[in-house]
Structure 1
């Protein structure tokens, strides 16, 4: 089934998944999503890509997607760069903040994009391309229920990352409450951008 055109949306959020941008040929629907995200970014439709969604957006904008030396699972400090101070989404984030990572791929900074956070690993952590397209590597959408599902279904990730389940759960207990504030701030700011853009289009006729 073909995806709708980007102009039919006020905004797009592309979330994570177990697939890899390095295997687009095996997932035709992801190739279609890459095209949709590229179309949206070029049209000025607000886009937020999270983990796999951020990698899809970065790929659509010309970035490299590479496999990490080892899987990354756990919490790392989110360190906004100076450009984040004036960013419509990142300027609203609480500081200091810890960000949850659960990934095996990463993206480089797309050509022409602005880096918004210091890298937590070997590649880009967060960027904005143009005025309203954001890609992030971390998981602000995840809560305790989602993590519990991951612990049950993705136990091999912890071993690959060199992290015990006890260590991971202890870190979750320290950071999950603040994670809710981080997610609410980021998604709330993005929703405000979507509303503002949609209202401007209505006024312009």
Structure 2
């Protein structure tokens, strides 16, 4: 008896060395296969998601406001999952691209503050009804976003108030990072050390020390969140 093909999730990454990390691991364990594309390296994005169960757009060192051709093309492409009402999750840069696509605004803090390290998170009433949220999350960004019109705010924080939102039935954006494995965090701490001098950033030792305390809670939340966004694989349509 032939086994049925596993449903696919489109994974959009922005660097040659980037990885879907723990998100990828959890999706595979949940019954999905991954279709990885890297638009900055010339990979095309599909004209339809008929062959995919959903999409995750990850972060990157670039800004959603950059004028690079791939940034504009990818931001416009988000109309595909929105139009087809397929599950769409934007993480950090991916969330900011979604905000730009929906007519919102992406910009830095008025006082130049960044979130680089572990910071408190607070669920809104709508977010708390959806699931329990971690009290501390890992951040690595210099810009935040406004809440798109008709979107529902799910979680907030002090420096950048808009941390997670839902738009419509199936589009989600989160500012923080739950996808980092231990190896990924070590790499970010080494390669991103120059950002630890920015206003509001934490030193590298606090990134790694905080992981020992808070990462287990973030991991537990991520597992439940991905099940909420993508559900269980549908082997037949």
Query: Same fold, TM exceeding 0.5?
Result: yes
Counterpart contact for 1:92–1:189, Cα < 8 Å: no
* 3-state SS, counterpart of residue 3 of structure 1: coil
Give the direction of change, closer, same or farther, for the CA distance of 1:106–1:148 in structure 2 (3 Å limit). same
Q: Are positions 1:16 and 2:51 aligned together?
A: no
Match of 2:219 in 1: 183
Where does the alignment leave 5 or more consecutive residues of structure 1 unmatched? none
Counterpart contact for 1:6–1:36, Cα < 8 Å: no
Higher helix residue share: 1
Give the direction of change, closer, same or farther, for the CA distance of 1:160–1:98 in structure 2 (3 Å limit). same
Give the Å deviation of 1:132: 1.3
Equivalent pairs counted in the alignment come to: 192
Q: Deviations over 1:111-164 (max 9, x none)?
A: 100000123324411100011111011111123322221222122100113546
Give the Å deviation of 1:11: 0.9
Moved more, 10-19 or 33-42: 33-42
Counterpart contact for 2:91–2:173, Cα < 8 Å: yes
Give the Å deviation of 1:32: 2.2
Alpha-carbon distance in 2 for matches of 1:83, 1:54: 19
Q: What does residue range 33-182 of structure 1 map to in structure 2 within 5 Å? A: 33-68=74-109, 69-87=112-130, 91-94=131-134, 97-161=135-199, 163=201, 165=203, 168-176=204-212, 178-182=214-218
Alpha-carbon distance in 2 for matches of 1:155, 1:171: 11
Alpha-carbon distance in 2 for matches of 1:121, 1:170: 18
